Amino acid sequence: MQNFFSLLKREFRLFWSNKVLRLLFIGAPILYGVLLGYVYGKGKVTDLPIIIVDQDRSELSSKAIQMFEDNEVLSIASILYDQNNLSQIAIQKEATCVVIIPKDFEKMTLTKKYPEITTIVNTSNVLTANYASTAIQVCLGTLKAGVQIETLRKQGVPENLLASQYEPFKTTFIKKYNRSTNYMYFLWPGVLATVLQQVLLLGLALSFASEFENGTFKDLVKRCPSILNLLAVKIIPYMIMSFGIWIIYWLFTLWFRLPFYENLLPLTFIAGIFVLSVSFIGILVSILVPSQLKATEILMVIATPSFILSGFTWPLSQMPQAVQAIANVIPLTHFLKAFRILIIENGSFSQTTKPIWNMIIIGIVCFIAAFIALHFKKKSVLKQA
């Protein structure tokens, strides 16, 4: 046991002596946590610039403009009265939408000639385009309802019948979980989990590969003949440091006032399985590829697209079957699914059984492969001795 603890100390010394690895493993989660926290800290998009082309200059068009001004998502960057140089002005003002109110808009509305308001949406950024166009639709829908109700009122329809005359049935949308559609709640945790996976893979890529390159693997085998102990010596330090990063992430939720209070204990347990699963992937590649550079490159190829493939932002069901198969062998995919169930949707631990077992299976397969590969590496070294 004393020998085992001395080997753990040795592993911590090796980690601490590598300045680049130390900076990345400790610095990257903190840097990304703080930086992305402030990037998405606002939570939702507001004050998106739009341009109004008011060719009517009537009381009704003024009401429409007032509604746009009152909407928190929109900010009127400019009001024009013709379409001269409209494209250039839209680029100059960085407008997400251009709303064109036609000439004789009020007159045609009151005489039921159905004028058309045209909205040009800048879809170069899908996020801002969706927010701005939805806000404009809400404003114009409210204006349309107001005009119709006022017309019915002038026709002598009683006040208590106005709503039912205009709207034959009601529709109700109830938002659950992320009710404010806060982008911070949605994206920030997923990115931090991705960072944790990347730094783990980067660190463990060097674990055995550095021993092979530096010629110290033979001495390590002599001090620790057990393959299980060898794997434990390499993984346990990263498990301990990962728990430290997990605590830092929790402190970030307090700093940025994120309402992540429920199910933290079960999520911590699942995070432990996630870290183990990722660690065995890193260990396996480190054993099979005895070059630190090549092992790092291979694991970064796995880690870099993992967030995109995870189904966290784009539904996994909408991806080709081959891509889904690749995504399902990456632990991050299953951890983020469990995270969403427990933290975002306030689900129960029993509902995360499938992603937990998927991570366990990935971990077991990689552990067995790493055990076999390390057995042959050890055998080869002892023969040379």
For 233-256, how does the pLDDT look when each residue is reduced to its tens digit (9 = 90+)?
889 888 999 999 999 999 988 888
In the predicted structure, residue 229 carries a pLDDT above the cut 70: yes
Q: What is the mean pLDDT of residues 278-298?
A: 85
Q: State percent of the chain over pLDDT 70.
A: 90
**Distance (Å, rounded) from C-alpha 337 to C-alpha 33?**
20
User: Which residues, in sequence order, are bridge partners of residue 72?
Assistant: none
User: Residue 268: what pLDDT?
Assistant: 92
86 by Cβ neighbours in 10 Å (0-12 / 13-18 / 19+) ranks as middle
Q: What is the mean pLDDT of residues 266-292?
A: 90
User: Residue 356: what pLDDT?
Assistant: 95
Alpha helices by DSSP H, the chain: 2-17, 19-22, 28-39, 59-70, 86-92, 105-110, 126-154, 159-166, 183-205, 207-214, 217-223, 227-255, 264-288, 292-303, 306-309, 321-327, 331-339, 353-384
Greater model confidence, 356 or 374: 356
199 by Cβ neighbours in 10 Å (0-12 / 13-18 / 19+) ranks as buried
**Distance (Å, rounded) from C-alpha 373 to C-alpha 87?**
62
In the predicted structure, residue 36 carries a pLDDT above the cut 90: no
Among 147-151, 311-315, 365-369, the range scoring the smallest mean pLDDT is 147-151
Among 15-29, 58-72, 143-157, the range scoring the smallest mean pLDDT is 143-157
Alpha helices by DSSP H, 256-352: 264-288, 292-303, 306-309, 321-327, 331-339
Amino acid identity, position 15: F
Q: What is the mean pLDDT of residues 97-102?
A: 90
The pLDDT-based confidence of 161 (bands split at 50, 70, 90) is: low
**The model's pTM:** 0.82
User: Residue 153: what pLDDT?
Assistant: 66
In the predicted structure, residue 270 carries a pLDDT above the cut 90: yes
Residue 235 Cα distances to 203, 212, 282, 373, angstroms: 10, 17, 10, 16
In the predicted structure, residue 169 carries a pLDDT above the cut 70: no
Secondary structure of residue 100 in the 3-state scheme: strand
User: Residue 183: what pLDDT?
Assistant: 74
**Distance (Å, rounded) from C-alpha 139 to C-alpha 114?**
17
What average pLDDT does the chain have?
A: 83
Nearest CA to 337 among 313, 318, 319? 313
Q: What is the mean pLDDT of residues 13-42?
A: 80
